Structure formats: C-alpha cells, structure tokens
Copies of this chain bind each other. A is one copy, B any other.
Amino acid sequence: MTETFLIVGGDAAGMSAASKAKRDDPDREVVVLERGEWVSYGACGLPYYVKGEIDDLEDLVAIPAERFQEERDIDLRTGHEAAAIDPEDQTVTVETDERTYTQSYDELLVATGARAIAPPIDGLDRDGVFTLQTMEAGRELKEYVDAQAGDTVGIIGGGYIGIELAEAFRGQNLDVELFEMRSHVLEPFGSEVAKTVESELRDNDVAVHTDTRVDRVAGDDRVRTVITPDGKFPVDAVLVAAGVQPRVELAESAGIDVGPTGALATDQYGRTNVESVYAAGDCAEIIHAVTGDPAHVPLALTANRAGRAVGATVAGEPTPVGEIAGTAVLKAFDLEVARTGLLEDERLREAGFDPVSVSITAASRAHYYPGGSEVEITLVGDADSGAVLGASMVGKEGVAKRIDTVAAAIQGDMSVTDLAYLDLSYAPPFGPTWDPVLTAAKVLGGKLS
C-alpha cells in the first residue's frame, strides 16, 4: 500500500519537505494541509511590498499552488485546517469551511510556523492596529498605507520587522514613531551596531524611543494615541512588531514535547518524541552551533533546510536538519546590518563561556579607491577556548555577505586565530588588504592571548 506523508502547514518548511519527499520517492503520497490560501510565500518580502517596491502580493510567492499540484504531484489542500492529531491512530482531524474529516498518515510533519506576539498592551484590539505576519496582514497594511500618506504610524518593537517597516513607511511619506522597550534596537545585534542603526533611523526622520515600554494605546473608533511613561504620542495607526512565538498548540495537545525555548523539541532529524511525527520550521527548535543547545531562531533558511531534510528522511535517506549560527541580515535605509552567533554577554556566560569582545571600524574599500565608507564590526571570542562566538556588522556596503565568513568560522569550530589567518579576497574596489573581519580577529586575538 502507498505510504502517506502528511504535512501540516504549507509555507517554507512544509512545502520544502513535500517537494523533497516527492522528488526522492515519487510513489509516496504527499498531502499538505494549509489552513490559509497562500503557500510557499516569502513573508520576508512583505516590508518591500508595503514600501511599494514590489507591485503584486502574488510576486512574493515562490511557487504557485497549482505547480505543486500539477507539476510535482503533491496533494496540496488549501483552506484545510488541522484541528487535532491522534498519534495512536496516526490520523489528523481536518476542518474546512464545509466539512470535517479524518486524514490518516504514515509520517506526519508539523510545520505550523509562528505567530506575531501580542504584547500585553491594552487597546491593541482597536482598528488601525496592524501586524505583518501573514500575506493577508500585508495586504491590509498596504491598503492603509496607500490611502493615508501624511499619517503618523507608531511602531511597537525595534527588531528587524519594525525597522524594515520604518523604512517602508518613510518611503510612503508616513511619519514614524518607533518604540523599543530595551536600551537599543535590534537586541540580538549588540549595542555597537544598534547605535549606528538608530542614528540612520533618525537621519531618515524616524523618531526612535528606546528604553520605552508602551503602556497602552488609546483612541475612539480607532487607535489615536500611544501612551508611554515618557508621554503620549498622537498616531493614526500602530504596527505591532514585537517578535513571533511558535505555534505549538496543535502538537502540544497531541503529546508532542515542547522544549526549553517554547518551540517543539526535536532530534537531529527533526523527529519529535512521538513516533512518526516530525516538526520543522518556525514552530520547532534547532541546535545552536555556539552553545550546542536547542534554540528558537525562526528564519527562512532554517525552515527551508529543516523541511527539506525531513522530506529526505521520510523518503528513506536519514538527513540531519543541521545546526544554526543565528545568522541574520537586514537593510535599514542605506545600511546593511548583519549578525551571527551569540553576542550577548549574559547569554554567553550562562552558556559557560568567558566572552571577550572588540569593536573596530574599517574601510569598505582601499583607502585610495573612491566611494568607500565605513564598516563597523563587533567580534566576540571565548577567553577559555579561543573560539569565535559571534559577530555583528554594519555599513553602507560589503556587510551582508561578509558576515558569512564569521558564520563559517563558527560552524567550522574555528578559533579567533584561525579566523585571523583566513585568506580572504582583496581588490581595491571591495576592501582594504586586510579584510575588516581579519582586522577584528587580529585585534581580538591580541586581547585573548
């Protein structure tokens, strides 16, 4: 009898798993349940859609639903929500607008993703409060932005979505008040890089309020005011970008373990504690290369890779989901801002490291080559082992892919000295003879020895 690989969730992890399983084992029945209408879409592109740089929401879709169905022979069912998992019977209860039915499986992948965190702030149920976690939310936000040039938007949260949307709103002639409860924006990027980003935001007329916890939002028929301990800020809309949390309820109800991060716990193949049930993507944990411990870093590559690995494993070739280094990059107006590994002193000490950090500024091109700018790098190493632990960078050019060298060093278990000895590319238009990463590693090496 044909075996059925059932997947709950039709975005990055789910569709990667479906495609890989079907390609490696064409005889297997692959069924995907997606409660919405969109599959395989690039949520990372939503800020640029809001900004007006991408015309159609459909452009964000990597592969349309029909192609999965027709070309890849995947039984993709949109508008189908998984309501319950019965691990004993190996079935899932499925609900559509019209009916409820039971779908059996031989292997099950939970790829339910994450949802926007609703912070404990009164008044967020008012009209004019937006999030940006789904395609539908993106469309609503874009409709508002298109209609309301000149308005002021309050952004709650200075993470990368908050910052990308600040750029998008300014590009559409909206005023922006950005509220971050921590001492700086982009918390996992470290304070040095964050200061430069905050300066760039202000240079682009974004009002940045750090150390500012929003108490509540007030209004009448819709939101009108953001209220903080420092004062009241009149707004015409509010965008909540306070991070995401994994969607684990469906799995947890079925007895699937949640790990220390609050996401679903898995082994190196993405297997949960329940027989024949896998989890991957934004709902699942993954091992962090620096600590060796489970982490929850919901990013696109992680989800794609883990989904693909589960697809291969289900098709018969056990394939690890891999580890992450927590590498991330964003564009903030004219800046490239990137990070990898772990930078936060407290988290590193908790994980047993003795972190030492340096921050340097270097040139993006040879000193004599026209058009260069500055690259700022913070590099963190372990005083005990000499290992590279993390880095963050910011600059107008040459940052987005330069961070990858440090990511490779972390996943390759290199020491700071090893990093300083890498033979990195050099030509006058692209950097100084000693790449800024090498300079940072040399300086950090001097502090560690």
Write the residues of chain A forming the contact surface with B, with a CB cutoff of 8 angstroms.
Answer: 12, 42, 44-45, 48, 53-54, 59-60, 62, 289, 299-302, 304-305, 320, 322-331, 336, 338, 340, 366-370, 398, 400-405, 407-409, 411-414, 418, 421-431, 433-435, 437-438
Contacts and interface: CB of A to CB of B under 8 A. Distances in A.
A425 B368 contact: no
A329 B427 contact: yes
B430 A401 contact: yes
A336 B431 CA distance: 13
A231 to B, nearest CB: 34
A428 B368 contact: no
Contacts of A336: 430
12 contacts: A42-B433, A44-B427, A45-B366, A48-B369, A325-B423, A330-B427, A398-B401, A400-B427, A404-B424, A405-B405, A409-B412, A412-B418
A12 B59 CA distance: 50
Given A412-B414, A423-B301, A370 B54 contact: yes
A166 to B, nearest CB: 15
Contact of A425 (B12, B302, B328): B328
Contacts of A421: 305, 320, 322-323, 411
Contact of A54 (B301, B304, B320, B368): B368
Question: Which 7 A-B residue pairs are closest in the complex by CB-CB distance?
Answer: A412-B412, A400-B430, A408-B408, A329-B425, A325-B423, A59-B368, A322-B421
A418 B403 CA distance: 17
Contacts of A331: 427, 429-430
A310 to B, nearest CB: 15
Say what secondary structure dominates the interface of chain A.
loop
A439 to B, nearest CB: 11
A289 B421 CA distance: 11
A17 to B, nearest CB: 15
Nearest to A46: B428
A404 B423 CA distance: 8
Given A54-B370, A327-B424, A412-B414, 14 more contacts: A42-B368, A44-B428, A45-B368, A48-B369, A53-B369, A300-B426, A301-B424, A329-B425, A331-B429, A331-B430, A338-B425, A401-B405, A404-B404, A412-B413
Most buried by B among A320, A414, A429, A431: A429
A1 to B, nearest CB: 30
A411 B418 contact: yes
Given A54-B369, A405-B408, A412-B412, A45 B425 contact: no
A422 B325 CA distance: 8
A400 B327 CA distance: 19
Contact of A423 (B54, B340, B425): B340
A104 to B, nearest CB: 32
A38 B431 CA distance: 22
Given A60-B368, A368-B54, A403 B423 contact: no
Contacts of A328: 425-427
Given A331-B429, A366-B45, A422 B403 contact: no
Contact of A433 (B12, B53, B320, B366): B12
Contact of A430 (B289, B329, B405, B427): B329
A408 B414 CA distance: 10
Contacts of A60: 368
A44 B432 CA distance: 11
Contact of A53 (B370, B403, B405, B435): B370
B403 A400 contact: no
A422 B324 CA distance: 8
Contacts of A305: 421
Given A368-B60, A369-B53, A425-B328, A408 B412 contact: yes
Contacts of A422: 325, 404, 407-408, 411
Contacts of A325: 422-423
A336 B427 CA distance: 10
